[in-house]
Structures are given as structure tokens and as C-alpha cells.
Amino acid sequence: MKDTKEVAIFGGGCFWCTEVVFKMLKGISSVLPGYSGKPPAEVIQVEYNPAQISYHDLLTVFFGSHDPTTKNRQGNDIGPQYRSVIFYTSPEQKTEAEKFIRELSAVTELEPFDKFYEAEDYHKNFYARNRGYSYCEVIINPKLEKVQKEFAELLNDKNKIK
């Protein structure tokens, strides 16, 4: 089977949270925090192998790991940079995302992908380098626990709860 890679762009609030969530999944070759859209939103660029994890599965985790029903807000993070947004890279991604948004009555924005601006180095692997930071303990850890519990079948082996 060919080892192909596709790209997905998701904004689910603070990219510190979404980066570490998507790094837990099987079939992911890279997750890069950055900015996309107008106004710029905090997003992650995910490279994945569709033979190992589907775009549908990525959407399931995306919508299950943040609140897609609040506009321009995730918890205490408020503003358009924290909006729920998907930047689709193909007509198939657009169609699949539209179905999720409709079914969930989400306020998630759906836009064609244009440009990705890589985040500053101090944002990359933030959780791995700052686990003791109060934001990580209070906001990110509960998300990780939820993902480990609800999406265990999609996790790579090192992130499965034994």
C-alpha cells in the first residue's frame, strides 16, 4: 500500500491544545501550529496518511475535542483567533466537513485553504515542553484524558491507556 500524505487544517481554539491532541493519533506524520485565514486564526496543519486514518476520523476527533458551538471562543480564550474553523484542501474535505457542521449545528467556519503561516518556535511542542504550566494542567490535560477515553481506537500505540 502506498504511503501517501494528505493535509488537513483545523482551528479549534488555542493551537497548543489541538497540536497535542492530533499528535496522539495514528497515521499522523506531522502537526504544525500556525495561523491561517482572515482574520488569522490559530490553527494546526496536519499531515496524515489516509490509509491509516481517514479525514472523517480526523473530523470526529476535531469536533469531539473542542466546542464547535461557541463563536470566537474556546473556554477562556476569546476572540476571532480562537474561532472554530476548518480550511479545506479538496472538494471531498469540504463536503465531509459540511456534513459534520450541519449535523452538529456547529458555528464552525468552513473556508478554502489559502496560506499557512508557521507559528513562532516557542509555540511548537508547547505542551511537551511545559506540562507543569497551569494552562496545560487545567485546560489541556482534561482534553487529553477525554481523547484517550473517547477515541482510543484512533490513538497511536504510545498514547493508548494501558
Position 63, amino acid: F
Q: What is the largest CA-CA distance in the chain?
A: 44
How much is the CA Rg of the chain, to the nearest whole Å? 15
Is residue 14 among the annotated active site residues?
A: yes
**Residue 124 cell numbers, joined:** 511548537
The whole-number pLDDT of residue 76 equals 85
Query: Which ranges of the chain have pLDDT less than 70?
Result: 1-2, 160-162
Of 14, 41, 53, 85, which residue is the catalytic one? 14
**Are the C-beta atoms of 34 and 9 separated by less than 8 Å?**
no
Every domain of the chain and the residues it spans? 6-159
- 102 CB-side CA count, 13 A: 6
The whole-number pLDDT of residue 95 equals 98
Task: Specify the 3-state DSSP secondary structure of 3.
Answer: coil
The whole-number pLDDT of residue 162 equals 47
- Whole-angstrom distance, CA of residue 102 vs CA of residue 90: 19
- What is the domain class of 6-159 according to CATH? alpha beta
